[in-house]
Every structure is written in structure tokens, then in C-alpha cells.
């Protein structure tokens, strides 16, 4: 093995835009559970003209975790890199709800058949042609994407968020 591992290596950008990977990046922001912290976080994000596409709050007596998807991952990543917030990132799959009487079931059943576990899910504030969407964190992203795309369910990408400003 070469001793110059990494020297001169080209690193890819962090963005998912324009790449075949159909996941969205979720920011998980850890903060003390006290009055005003969520407002401070939202002011920090929205003052830079970023929009929150999805938000889920987990709380306990002492702390809270705000899971969120922003309309522009790159700008959000840079914003959090320069901030004092404790932030972790994860990939999630966003699926447009199918036009069906049981849209969530239509998403869950194929994943169940493939034995893909859904760790958690939450809605997106994103609508296309009157349809909502849901974000899923799963235990096997590659398999989940393969299964969902084979069922003709529409996976929402970062580019969809960038292109769809007027629908929010």
C-alpha cells in the first residue's frame, strides 16, 4: 500500500445535487431544552434566507434534538459549520405520497417485504401537485431506494427542493 494515502487525492463535494444518490441530508441539532432555544435556532437559519422543509422535535427534560431538512444543503452545512450549534448529519429518503387511499401503507409495505426497518418518519412541508411527502430514516438506504424506486414511488431529491420554491 502506498504511504502517500490521500496526497493529491481529489475529494468530491458534499452536495447530493446533480448526483444519482437520491437522499436528502438531515441536520440533527442538539440543544438545551429551555425557553427560546428553538426560536434562536430558527432565527439563525431563516435570517440567511434558508427555509426549513421538514422539522421534527425530540425532547426530554434536559435537552432537545431538532431534526430538519433545509431547502439548500450546502448553505445549511456552511451555516452550521460556522455556528456554535452541535449538529450531526444523516441521509434520509423523502417520498412523495402516492395518490391512494392508504398512501403511507403503499410506502411501508414494500419496505416491510424487503425487511427494511424504518427508524423514524416525519412529514415534509413540500407539496407537488397537491401531494404531501414524508421523510424516512431507514436501516439500509441502498436497499430502501431500490425497493421504493421499483414500486414507481417518487423519491424527492435535493434538486426537487431547489426547483420547487413556489410550492412551499
Judge whether 161 and 126 are in contact, CB under 8 Å.
yes
Sign, CA dihedral 125-126-130-131, equals negative
- Nearest CA-CA partner of 55 in 34, 42, 69: 69
Residue 14's pLDDT is what? Answer: 47
Q: What does each C-alpha distance from 96 to 17, 49, 129 come to in angstroms?
A: 18, 25, 10
Query: Is the model's pLDDT at 164 over the cut of 70?
Result: no
pLDDT average, residue stretch 118-140: 91
Q: 46-55, 109-118, 122-131, 143-152: which range is least confident on average?
A: 122-131
Query: Is the model's pLDDT at 120 over the cut of 80?
Result: yes
Q: List domains and CATH numbers for the chain.
A: 24-91 (3.30.2130.10), 92-167 (3.30.2130.10)
State the Cα–Cα distance between residues 94 and 145, nearest whole angstrom: 10
In whole angstroms, what separates CA 161 from the centre of its chain?
11
- What's the pLDDT tens digit per position in 3-26? 444 454 444 444 444 445 689 999
- What's the pLDDT tens digit per position in 58-102? 988 899 999 999 999 999 999 999 999 999 999 999 999 999 999
Q: How confident is the model at residue 168 (pLDDT cuts 50, 70, 90)?
A: very low
pLDDT average, residue stretch 131-150: 94
pTM above 0.85, yes or no: no
Judge whether 126 and 53 are in contact, CB under 8 Å.
yes
* Strand segments (E) across the chain: 24-32, 52-59, 63-70, 86-96, 118-128, 131-138, 155-156
Q: How confident is the model at residue 2 (pLDDT cuts 50, 70, 90)?
A: very low
How many Cβ atoms are within 10 Å of 77's Cβ, its own excluded? 17
Query: Is the model's pLDDT at 54 over the cut of 50?
Result: yes
Judge whether 163 and 157 are in contact, CB under 8 Å.
no
Query: Is the model's pLDDT at 44 over the cut of 80?
Result: yes
State the Cα–Cα distance between residues 99 and 93, nearest whole angstrom: 19
Judge whether 119 and 72 are in contact, CB under 8 Å.
no
- Nearest CA-CA partner of 148 in 100, 99, 123, 114: 114
Amino acid at each position: 500500500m502506498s504511504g502517500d494515502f490521500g496526497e493529491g487525492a481529489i475529494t468530491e463535494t458534499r452536495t447530493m445535487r446533480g448526483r444519482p444518490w437520491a437522499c436528502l441530508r438531515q441536520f440533527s441539532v442538539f440543544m438545551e431544552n429551555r425557553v427560546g432555544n428553538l426560536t434562536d435556532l430558527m432565527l439563525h437559519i431563516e435570517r440567511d434566507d434558508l427555509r426549513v422543509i421538514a422539522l421534527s422535535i425530540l425532547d426530554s427534560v434536559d435537552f432537545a434534538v431538532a431534526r430538519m431538512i433545509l431547502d439548500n444543503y450546502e448553505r445549511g452545512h456552511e451555516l452550521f459549520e460556522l455556528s456554535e450549534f452541535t449538529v450531526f448529519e444523516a441521509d434520509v429518503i423523502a417520498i412523495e405520497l402516492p395518490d391512494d387511499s392508504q398512501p403511507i401503507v403503499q410506502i411501508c409495505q414494500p419496505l416491510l417485504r424487503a425487511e427494511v426497518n424504518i427508524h423514524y418518519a416525519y412529514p415534509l412541508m413540500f407539496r407537488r401537485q397537491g401531494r404531501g411527502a414524508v421523510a424516512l430514516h431507514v436501516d439500509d438506504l441502498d436497499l430502501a431506494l431500490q425497493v421504493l424506486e421499483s414500486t414507481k414511488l417518487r423519491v424527492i431529491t435535493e434538486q426537487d427542493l431547489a426547483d420547487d420554491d413556489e410550492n412551499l
